Amino acid sequence: MMPSLHPYVKFRNSLIYKLDRLAANGSINDAIEQLGLIVSENQDVERFVAYEKLDQTKIRYDEILTMLESIQEHNNSIINDINEKIDSVAGQFTINSKDNLSFQVFRIDSDVSQLILDRMQKYADWSYPGLRLGCRYVGQNTVDENRNQDNSFSTLLSNHMVALDPLYFCDVNNSLISAVTDHFLDAYKNRIRKYILDQDLSILPQNQFGFVFCWWVFNFMSIDAVKQHLKQIYGLLRPGGTLMFSYNNSDIFESARLVDMQIMSHTPLRHLIRICDEIGFMIESTVDMENSDPLVERISWIEIKKPGYLKTIKLQQVLGKIESIK
């Protein structure tokens, strides 16, 4: 029987929380600072034996700080050992992302979905091309008693990208793209750039995109596959461009459960931070929001930026008359 991941994550997080509460470095540093102030604020007082004793007190405090630093290094070693165990256990679970193209119905709270849309709105600028990478089901605000899949929220995500010009949609088959674009007027649908791709993104325009949005895709990929995609997306973005993507932050107990259930992959934030740094991304924001669905209890995403500043020679959006071909 394979061990479960989430008990280790729960144990590590509880340990980190309690060690942080026990840390006394701050109060000791404050004490040293206050002792120094007492001396500096009373320079007019003739030095006497109290000064020497104060100096001895500060030396003792410094010795305690050195000891605490040694203890902290030991504690960090314990945390690293637990992380290695977590990664080892997680390595026993594999997810085939193609099996999850139609994810089981789950609720996404309205405050969560609204924040996602608000963050997208920040990056949707007509001055630059945009890309939605992955168009699958992403949850819904309401779940009926028959648990029917409603794609309206995924469609809404597409609506919040239409300001980007031109707008690209990319997924493994056309039906997934059509599900989130067929509601557009024909005149606009004709302007959409559709790409049927799986792993290789090199066919897409390089160094062009101002915003790439990838939702409910990396949640099912191994951390190595996520790394390869991030490298490719780095090449797609122009300097100053942003990638916003969801993932299963299995550094959180509730999300680690989904790894145990073989529903989502092990993509902890601690690994993503390291990978982003290696590739050259700047981390703009990381979000972990509580969600009321009994299965998907946390919604996690990250916003990362390619270093530089967005620049364009566009003075206005491209306008043109769309005519039928005779």
Task: Please give the chain's pLDDT, 326 residues, in tens.
Answer: 668 999 999 999 998 888 777 665 567 667 667 766 766 666 666 666 567 777 788 788 788 878 888 888 888 899 999 999 999 999 887 765 555 556 789 999 999 999 999 999 999 999 999 999 999 899 999 998 888 889 999 999 999 999 999 999 999 999 999 999 999 999 899 999 999 987 899 999 999 999 999 999 999 999 999 999 999 999 999 999 999 999 999 999 999 999 999 899 999 999 999 999 999 999 999 999 999 999 999 999 999 999 999 988 765 665 544 454 44
C-beta atoms surrounding 30 within 10 Å: 10
C-beta atoms surrounding 141 within 10 Å: 15
* Euclidean distance between CA atoms 236 and 69, whole angstroms: 43
Exposure string over 161-198, b if 16+ CB within 10 A, otherwise e: bebbbbbbbbbbeeebbebbbeebeeeeeeebeeeeee
Cα 128 from chain centroid (whole Å): 23
3 phi and psi, to 5 degrees? -70, 155
pTM for this predicted structure: 0.84
185 phi and psi, to 5 degrees? -65, 150
Q: Would you say 232 and 111 are in contact if contact means Cβ atoms under 8 Å apart? A: no
